[in-house]
Amino acid sequence: PFFKEFVPKEFPEESKLLAKLNANENPYGPSPKAVEALREVATKGNRYAWKELFGLIDKIAVEEGVSPKNIMMGPGSSDLLEKTGMVLFLDGGNVVSADPSYMSLMQVAQATGASWKPVPLKEDWSHDLKAMEEAVDSETKLVYICNPNNPTGSITDSKELLDFCSRVSEKVPVFVDEAYLAFLEDGAKQSMVSLINEGKDVIIARTFSKIHGMAGLRVGYIVAQESTLEKIQKITRGGMGISYTSIFAALASMDDKDFQDSSREKNAAAREYVYKSLSKLGYDYVPSHTSFIIFPIEMDGKLFLDKMRAKQVGVRAFEFMGKNWCRVSMGTMDEMKIFTAALTDVLA
Ligand code: PLP
């Protein structure tokens, strides 16, 4: 594995930054309707939310076109990536994924006792599905795919992925993390969720943290076969971690399509601005299908983070494929201007 992250001394506080572009948060969220719902239900914080949670599950099931029995909720999709990673690897085995990719599930799987079989992304930054299929062996318990991928922002063709999931899930479950899919114009069409009704052993993860702008409110879910969820829920519980208030915020946010559309549009406009700025500065970038952009920097990653931090700009830095990279999240247009000005100085 050649994927490494440069870690700053401390994770910066929002109040100390002029542009917080380090965690792929949605700068516009939560939706005003979600905020209104939060205010209305704040006093219900003394209650558990059993029935209310089932209400949210039913609504999500309708949107996804599956049965409520195919849904497991969690406080953010992290919780479900981790629970899946923990439960499926209790008896060891290995997990196959791209490198670089979003490491949450693989980290827990490895800590639980599994090994990680990384498969480098292709030159066009898509998943090397052929090599991933070949990497599956008798010890493999799960394949993890992040599409679009973090930290590269790149996409894998949905038809090829659908074929891959159909075939490979006959041998092992395939986990598809669709955290950023809703930033695509036709995200719903590119989802793997249709495989659930075909009985395929796929697990699709979705989150309210990104397009809904609710990262701090912690709501996410997975869609999977009932038998797979039974296995995970025998050891861990789904919705117990979600707060009463967040459930109502999620319900309200689902109804606010205008907010989701506007997040998608503003995100795309910020991306265009950053592409132009990087090109002007003579920098390459990986075309993004997400709410962040990654581009190579010719500087030590840690030094780069420190210098950007001195300009009160928070970003992330990685090393892979023999290069150092900056990953910048799409903030407001004002934040992107601050970022560009800082970058111009730091890389001068
Ligand atoms: N999956 C991917 C690909 C992510 O980038 C993130 C967060 O950045 C998550 C999952 C976890 O998000 P959350 O736990 O907020 O749903």
* pLDDT tens-digit map of 185-230: 998 999 999 999 999 999 999 999 999 999 999 999 999 999 999 9
Answer yes or no: are the C-beta atoms of 168 and 176 closer than 8 Å: no
CA of 206 to the centre of ligand 1 (A): 8
- What integer pLDDT is reported at residue 240 of this predicted model? 87
User: Is 9 in the same domain as 79?
Assistant: no
Give the residue from 277, 260, 224 showing the smallest Cα distance to 74.
224
User: Is 207 in the same domain as 298?
Assistant: no
- What integer pLDDT is reported at residue 296 of this predicted model? 97
234, 255, 276 - which closes a domain: 255
Residue nearest atom 4 of ligand 1, based on CA coordinates: 179
* pLDDT tens-digit map of 256-290: 999 999 999 999 999 999 999 999 999 999 999 99
User: Is 134 in the same domain as 225?
Assistant: yes
* pLDDT tens-digit map of 282-337: 999 999 999 999 999 999 999 999 999 999 999 999 999 999 999 999 999 999 99
Residue nearest atom 1 of ligand 1, based on CA coordinates: 179
Q: Out of 26, 207, 294, give the residue to mutate to test ligand 1, the one with the largest number of ligand atoms within 8 Å of its CB.
A: 207
Ligand 1 atom with the shortest distance to the CA of 180: 3
Least confident of 11-25, 92-106, 279-293: 11-25
* pLDDT tens-digit map of 37-94: 999 999 999 999 999 999 999 999 999 999 999 999 999 999 999 999 999 999 999 9
User: Is 99 in the same domain as 180?
Assistant: yes
User: Is 102 in the same domain as 186?
Assistant: yes
Mean pLDDT of 95-106: 97
pLDDT confidence tier of residue 12, bands split at 50, 70 and 90: confident
C-alpha of 110 from chain center: 20
User: Is 202 in the same domain as 56?
Assistant: yes
CA of 29 to the centre of ligand 1 (A): 16
Residue nearest atom 11 of ligand 1, based on CA coordinates: 78
Q: Quote the domain boundaries for residue 111.
A: 32-255
C-alpha of 201 from chain center: 21
Residue 2 has pLDDT above 80, yes or no: no
Ligand 1 atom with the shortest distance to the CA of 207: 16
Q: What is the CATH number of the domain that holds 46?
A: 3.40.640.10
255, 288, 304 - which closes a domain: 255
The verdict on the CB of residue 207 being under 6 Å from ligand 1 is: yes
Residue 157 has pLDDT above 60, yes or no: yes
User: Is 181 in the same domain as 298?
Assistant: no
238, 255, 272 - which closes a domain: 255
DSSP 195-217: HHHTT--EEEEEESSSTT--TTT
At 98, is the secondary structure helix, strand, or coil? strand
The verdict on the CB of residue 179 being under 6 Å from ligand 1 is: yes
User: Is 104 in the same domain as 203?
Assistant: yes
Total domain count, the chain = 2
The verdict on the CB of residue 177 being under 6 Å from ligand 1 is: yes
User: Is 176 in the same domain as 287?
Assistant: no
